[in-house]
Amino acid sequence: MGIENMKMPQLGESVTEGTISKWLVSPGDTVNKYDPIAEVQTDKVNAEVPSSFTGTIKDLIADEGDTLEVGEIICSIEVEGEGSAPVEQTPKEEPKEEVDETPQTATKTKAPSKDSGNKARYSPAVLKLSQEHDIDLNQVEGTGNGGRITRKDLKKVIESGNIPKAGEAPAPKAEDQAPQQAPVKEKAVQQPAKQSAPAANVPVIPGDIEIPVSGIRKAIASNMVRSKHEAPHAWTMMEVDVTNLVDYRNSLKTEFKQREGFNLTFFAFFVKAVAQALKEYPQINSMWAGDKIVQKKDINLSIAVATDDALYVPVIKNADEKTIKGIAREITELAGKVRSGKLTSQDMQGGTFTVNNTGSFGSVQSMGIINYPQAAILQVESIVKRPVVMNNGMIAVRDMVNLCMSLDHRVLDGLVCGRFLQRVKEILENTSKENTSVY
């Protein structure tokens, strides 16, 4: 018999953490390899995590609601044969990454008991809550597995008003001293997240509604803050006359729906135009990588799909190789997966540029936040009829749309982005029955 550790998987490109929304197993349950053991939320996808082993659930390291980084242990499984990582090693290994142990402490913790070892494995959610309320974790009694401290334990302490502070009382056990510095180091690592702390001071009066922040909303907030802080955003807009495109699509939509079984949307035409322009201006299809810029070979377009409480960005792979019909089919299928909760991590991976259909809810001008680590995002606004002065000096009512582009100024300059948008504009304005086929 041996013990194997299950770790938080990477459920999408650029995903760095996930939240355990629901455990599907309990300690003592027998699982087969590939059986789902937990539901996990990230900023990109909701997914079931399958077991990597056949065996018996030994310990659930994370609680429901805990957010863990990719690669952190979420549970341990007892399997037949030799285990690659005995359970006693877990508390020894993690402090090396998270705790600056002194020689004196290291000597005292050579042979920790199971209870003290479990208590030492603080989840990121517990560490964050303890930092926000300045709680000395050494003075908190845990009710989790093996005496591990959970968020519920900290919330109970906070509600009681009797918050133990460091230095107020000596820790009950010498061997519990090892984790004492964990909050200090974690506090340095988590510093960006602390920027949201002032929100806790918002006064709540009768009639106000407090809405808990879900794991996926926290992940979205974290990624958006990262994008805005790391990438110097610049913004540009171009207006496009899509009168011929509108007429062409409207002449096809009824027959197309009857023949194909799905809608021919305006958005499919825009996605195809962007894919074609990216092929001609590959600099836009790039990512910042610190000491280099990576220009991606494949043109994989992320499309934003919103639900009532979250935003997902599934990917149309090799969009430049697909017809307008093929793109329309994928848009329909990916949007359906998002709204039915069947989107997979594979559907989210590999995006190189994002196209956002903000016009679907009537927006005419907006500035998107770049989908990190991509270099740009294009907002396709609402098509509206406006009076336009034509080349012959006459005024005519035309179908106009604004294309709004946010760009990472470390990677891209205004000149190449302007030329890229001009090319997208040219393709769209020349889309017509005579020039364009949807097949």
Contact call for residues 128 and 190 (beta carbons, < 8 A): yes
Strands 67-69 and 233-241 come out as unpaired
Looking at 35, 115, 133, 409, which residue is catalytic?
409
DSSP for 371-419 reads -TTBSEEEEE---EEEEEE-TTS-EEEEEEEEEEEEEETTT--HHHHHH
**In sequence order, what are the beta bridge partners of 30?**
56
Length of the chain: 439
**In sequence order, what are the beta bridge partners of 312?**
305
| CA proximity to 285, closest of 374, 203, 179 | 374
Q: Known catalytic residue: 413?
A: yes
Looking at 100, 134, 309, 413, which residue is catalytic?
413
Around Cβ 132, how many Cβ atoms within 10 Å? 17
Largest CA distance in the chain: 88
**Residue 234 neighbours by CB under 8 Å, 6+ apart:** 406, 407, 409, 412, 414, 417
Contact call for residues 370 and 231 (beta carbons, < 8 A): yes
Supply 170's token pair.
Answer: 């000596």
Residues annotated as catalytic are 409, 413
